[in-house]
Copies of this chain bind each other. A is one copy, B any other.
Amino acid sequence: MPRPSLKQERRTQILDAYERCLIRFGVEGSSLEAVAKEAGLARALIRHNIGNRDQLLEAAVDRFLLESNRSMEQLLDALPAEGALVCLIDWLFDPQGSDPHLSLVSDAFIAASANNPDLAGRMRTWTHTFFDSIVEVARRSHPGAEKEALRTVAAGITANYFTAESLTPMGPMRDLRAAFRSAALRLAETLD
């Protein structure tokens, strides 16, 4: 009987806008005004659908972790048994594949972790989870490799991926991006 709820649509609309602001202005710099403007909504609608500034951050972190885990699981399922590691690298560094958006949002969260112990904890476990997933893929495609070697290679791939994404706010740097991809591949080859 009541008017149908748009809560979910509004929430995603707001969180999408918030993420764009996070990338440009960071956690501290993303005012509710800016988010509302970016979303094309009145500021009071943020309050109505999500709440105050802290609740907005919390909601964004929740969604980020969910989405990140979902997308990682999906990727792991899609990887072939043969040559999984190279395939993973191709996906990570494919401009079409992984969304640079997510990495930049994580950068904002990590930077803000210095003032926010809770956030720091959540992002630490996220980082470890991400890293462990890469290790697992490496183990799959190189069952014989030593544990330490797998961790080292996984760290290197992770770092090159993170860095390539982190530099995007400066604009396209194709040469460097390609070099990071090559470095990841070169590390993977050391497991053969």
Contact = CB atoms under 8 A, between A and B. Distances in A.
Interface residues of A, number: 50
24 contacts: A23-B114, A25-B26, A25-B115, A26-B26, A26-B111, A27-B29, A28-B29, A28-B30, A110-B167, A110-B169, A123-B170, A127-B176, A148-B182, A151-B182, A152-B179, A152-B186, A153-B183, A155-B160, A155-B179, A155-B182, A156-B156, A156-B159, A159-B183, A166-B166
Overall SS of chain A's interface: helix
Interface of A: 23-30, 107-108, 110-115, 120, 123-124, 127-128, 131, 148, 151-156, 158-160, 162-164, 166-167, 169-171, 173, 176, 179-180, 182-184, 186-187, 190
B169 A120 contact: yes
B152 A183 contact: yes
